[in-house]
Amino acid sequence: MGVLERFSLSGRIALVTAGAGPLFGSSLSEALAEAGATVITASRSLERNEEYAAGLRDRGFDAHGMAFDISDPSSIEKLRDDLLARFGRLDVLVNSALARDGHGGGFEEQTAETWAASATGDMVGLFTICKAFIPALVAQGRGSIINIGSIYGVVSNDPGLYEGTPMRQPPSYTFVKGGMVNFTRYLAAYYGKQGVRANCISPGGYFTGQPGPFVTNYCNRAPIGRMMGNEDIQGAVVFLASDASAYVTGVNLMVDGGWTAI
């Protein structure tokens, strides 16, 4: 098999949680579809996922929308059962869904209750969806799990970025994403000999129309000199999903414009 052929996802089934979302999710789904995978996007809104999948099909890709709630274990199990019944297997699991409950405000504003709310979706949800699908990956002897983390799972946020804005970085987000990185390593070590790879992608700041002072501060600090756009994460997810990374597991791939290099 040639080098470029190893990047092909033709014949693979890929699930992207929050895969129709306006941030990373839709970019991840688009990239996997363009690489040849059958892509299933899933989040709370079935309508949004079906609409996004229809748009991908209009472009000639194989895409489908489903619904589930990352904070509800029974919903995760139903997604697994429905997906495996419909498609027969899963080859790539991309965990991009984030339960926003509890991730508002700075340290002073957050409470034990908001931390518990965020943990229910982001930590328990991640554990539950991996536990739900891993037996199927093990049974077929192959599979790639890709968890979407953050630079703030590796380094602390810089409070100076938010000067002149009402923005604050919630500490619960840093806590959750840091745990995700090491949980990924655990899965890689535990299931590697059974053919299942687990890796993490930790992106930098994604431009979503943030206040001007924040954008200026961020761009001045980032070695590449700009915030992330839609295409910046796509190559990374195709690489980790494909046979091009067959000997790569337990890695936290920084896609951050050099942010954590300084």
* pLDDT tens digits along 153-209: 999 988 899 999 998 888 888 888 999 999 999 999 999 999 999 999 999 999 999
Please state the pTM of the whole predicted model. Answer: 0.96
- Under a CB-based contact definition with an 8 Å cutoff, are residues 143 and 137 in contact? yes
- Under a CB-based contact definition with an 8 Å cutoff, are residues 223 and 261 in contact? yes
With a cut of 70, list the residues of the chain below it in pLDDT: 99-104
pLDDT at position 100? 59
d(CA 51, CA 57): 10
pLDDT at position 172? 85
pLDDT at position 259? 97
Domain range list for the chain: 4-261
Q: Which residues contact 20 (CB under 8 A, 6 or more apart)?
A: 26, 29, 41, 43, 45, 48, 49, 51, 52, 53, 65
Tokens of residue 22, six digits: 């306006």
d(CA 30, CA 56): 7
| Spatial CA neighbour of 134 closest among 69, 184, 62 | 184
pLDDT at position 168? 83
Q: Where are the beta strands (DSSP E) in 18-172?
A: 38-43, 63-67, 92-95, 143-148
Q: Which residues contact 193 (CB under 8 A, 6 or more apart)?
A: none
pLDDT at position 195? 98
Classified by CATH at the fold level, domain 4-261 comes out as: Rossmann fold (3.40.50)
Measured in whole angstroms, the distance separating CA 27 from the mean position of its chain's CA atoms is 10
d(CA 123, CA 71): 9
- Under a CB-based contact definition with an 8 Å cutoff, are residues 13 and 38 in contact? yes
Catalytic residues: 173
